[in-house]
Amino acid sequence: MKASIIATFFALFLTCTYATKEATKKNKKAKLYVPEIDCDIKAGKIINPEFIAKCPPGCQDIKYRVYGTDIYASFSSVCSAAIHSGTIDNSGGKILVQKVAGQSGYRGSFSNGIRSLSLPRWRESFIVSEGKPKKGVTYPSTLEYSSSKSSPVKTESKKSAQDIKATRNTDTSNASEKSPEQADALRKEYQTSPGPVPTTQVTTTLKPTMTPEPISTRPKPTTSPATTSTTTAITAAKPRSAVHRVRDIGPSSVHPVYSAVAAAASRQVQAAQGRGQNQASRSTSPYASNRNIPRANTGIQRQEPVAAFRKPAGSPVHLALETDLWKPGSSLFDTGFSSKEELNPKPLEPVSQGNPNCKVDLSFLIDGSWSIGKRRFQIQKQFLSDVAQALDVGIAGPLMGIVQYGDDPSTEFNLKTHANSRDVKNAIEKIPQKGGRSNVGKALSFVNKNFFLDSNGNRGGAPNVAIVLVDGWPTDKVEEASRLARESGINIFFVTIEGADENEKRNVIEPNFVDKAVCRTNGFYSINVPSWFNLRKVVQTLVKRVCDTDRLACSKTCLNSADIGFVIDGSSSVGTGNFRTVLQFVANISKEFEISDTDTRIGAVQYTYEQRLELGFDKHSTKQDVLNAIKQINYWSGGTSTGAAINYASEQLFSKSKPNKRKIMILITDGRSYDDVRVPAMTAHQNGVIAYSVGIAWAAQDELESIATDPDKEHSFFVDEFDHLYKFVPRIIQNICTEFNSQPRN
């Protein structure tokens, strides 16, 4: 009997132990869920600072680019970098990714079947290791990605149904019992940020009282003699991308539009009651005249209309009421009120998409220090409003945000917050002064690291411009912060107002701080205004300069500012197979650049005894078109007249180069030329062409040095075999970038 009981308990014990282990395994599996990523995902697109992810098979491909060795630039493919580092192989697997600070340089190398490229500088980096979780660290099961497209609309905050209902049921008697402070608090409690809604249906109820009820979205009530109900159904054909903000209505004042609506409705009802008919007499209540209507001091506070006028971006109801219905000189019937009491707004005019000739992303750094004072701070805000109006802000043109600095900088609004000049101006009016010192250097560092991000509306294809307004002089140093910002591609402008006089210059921490900060010291990037009262005079000057994208030097990098012409030896000694290897070398260099009509352009000449233009600079405007065209070049075969080929490239390619482009010639040959190369090369150098020479097999070293721009060691390369050409790709690109970044700033 005892043995039976013991056996039973032992069986139960084993069963419980097994169930516990199975449950533990399930829990562990749930906790160790690893998100999967694609081969083309770059680290910079993932917001998480540290995460474990699973890479798929097949990421060992040249189309997934990698920059750096061991520490990689954040626009590298995560999975390809993991293969390059040896963490995984081409079959994929789990990896641990950690974001680290940007590096001053990234070294390219060939490892595990992947060629990584060199890069002078980048703002963020990452390292890859084996995908084992660290003790005590919780890793995300879902990765957060930054948006690649800027959206000018802010996400609308949610309200509970109970809150909305309570607001709708609040009448004017409740409002009259609230103090101004309580009414203001109530208004702030229900204030929301607008967002786009494709279709909006609104039911509007107006009562004939001097203090109108909040407009309701409830179903239309039954009409009574004391109440006139107006129902409007408006369907927006398309969602608007522009964000529209409605002005706040103070607790003790009524917007003229609302007053006019209420007064007109009241007169209409009274007239109908007096005559016993539905027709009301015309009322002439222009918008301008309503500003001066005397109001009896009844002590009743205006209840904020929450549900009615907190409408999404480009709300047809709000725009109709504020722009179409209440124009100066219009009457009640002109605005759409008919005898059937229906509101029929006129078709809305399209919102401006912005000036397409000024597509730039702008950050204004405004001075909020105590030294500026309240009056001059208001002048500064008016200046910004005038600039916003002159720019014609829009998603197809310029976008702007504002950072205010004092002791510490803070973003007032970013690039995607507002998508038209009117909304920008309204937002500027509401900016309060921070106070503190004028720490401009700190503000520039903040903008460099935080402002021009995809998540803040940075569009990538538009130049980044930072405009710094300074009262007098900064209270910290700006040189180092400015240099880092410039190297990140940010065009820095300074507008200094009332600079230091001779007696005050000894108080300036960093003499000549403007020249140390701006992109060029030729006066284009700096404007000095002698008095705050003259600030408005430079609005057009500043707008013209920031919109001149051809002269925005800092947004031009080594990868987007050149006309590159390849001069390719197609002689008989090359052969068909080796010629295809040369074309692959040309393609590998070309694909590292940003190719478009306004960025880097690619051209090519093939030569033997004769010359042939294979690609003109204006022939193809996308990277893929250029790469396809390179593959389709046919091998010619013949002699080797390199000197004549250089002359031909100068005449047919580089004579048509744009003035703001760097002219770069890369000549590839496998033998000695039948003609002289020194004079043609010297002529090309004098015309501003930067020449690189790449020799293979039987190429003559003295000719390669004559062709190359000085210093020869940085512009001339030699390799024994065609199959080793790929080794020079990162070196040539690095030299091009190093040379670009060493240009003088004048």
Q: Following DSSP, what letter does each residue of 264-306 receive, concatenated?
A: HHHHHHHHHHHHTSS-----B--TTGGGG-------PPPPP-H
Output DSSP code: residue 714. Answer: H
% of the chain surpassing 70 pLDDT: 68
Q: Highest-confidence range of 210-224, 303-317, 492-506, by mean pLDDT? A: 492-506
Q: What are phi and psi of 210, to 5 degrees?
A: -70, -25
Q: Give yes or no for residue 644 having a pLDDT over 80.
A: yes
The SS3 assignment for 746 reads coil
Q: What is the three-class DSSP state of 97?
A: strand
- Stretch 63-72: mean pLDDT, rounded? 90
Residue 650 has pLDDT above 60, yes or no: yes
pLDDT score for 120: 72
In this prediction, residue 23 carries a pLDDT of 54
| Mean per-residue pLDDT, 336-353 | 50
Count of CB atoms situated within 10 Å of the CB of 200? 18
Q: Determine if the peptide bond prior to 711 is cis (ω within 30°).
A: yes
The two three-digit tokens of residue 732, written as one number? 């040539």
Confidence of residue 460 (pLDDT cuts 50, 70, 90): confident
Residues near 256 by Cβ (< 8 Å), separated by ≥ 6? 287, 290, 291, 293, 326
Residue 3 has pLDDT above 80, yes or no: no
What are the start-end ranges of the E strands in 341-413? Answer: 361-367, 399-405, 410-413
pLDDT at 278 over 60: no
Residue with tokens 């580089």: 654
- Contact between 491 and 519 (Cβ < 8 Å): yes
User: Rounded to an integer, what distance in angstroms lies between the CA atom of residue 43 and that of residue 144?
Assistant: 11
Over 60: is that where the pLDDT of 173 sits?
no
Cβ atoms of 84 and 62 within 8 Å: the answer is no
- What single letter denotes the amino acid at residue 487? E
With 60 as the cut, is the pLDDT of residue 9 above it?
yes
- Across the range 427-453, mean pLDDT stands at 95
Examine the pLDDT at 513 and tell me if it is beyond 80: yes
Rounded-to-integer distance, Cα 205 and Cα 171, Å: 13
Distance from C-alpha of 43 to C-alpha of 84, rounded to nearest angstrom = 15
* Distance of alpha carbon 435 from alpha carbon 404, whole angstroms: 10
Average pLDDT, the chain: 76
Q: What is the mean pLDDT of residues 168-184?
A: 37
Mean pLDDT of 592-610: 92
pTM (2 d.p.): 0.46
Residue 288 has pLDDT above 70, yes or no: no
* 87 token code pair: 């963490």
Q: Minimum mean pLDDT among 18-27, 243-252, 449-458, 702-711: which range?
A: 243-252
| 547-580 confidence digits (pLDDT tens) | 998 888 887 888 888 999 999 999 999 999 999 9
As separate numbers, helices (DSSP H) first and strands (DSSP E) second, the chain gives 21, 21
Q: Is the pLDDT of residue 272 over 80?
A: no
Query: For residue 641, is pLDDT > 60?
Result: yes
Between 733 and 190, the more confident residue is: 733
Work out the angle at residue 699's Cα, subtended by the Cα atoms of residues 697 and 702, and round it to the nearest 5 degrees.
140
Task: Give yes or no for residue 237 having a pLDDT over 70.
Answer: no
Residue 638's identity, in one-letter code, is G
pLDDT value of position 24: 54
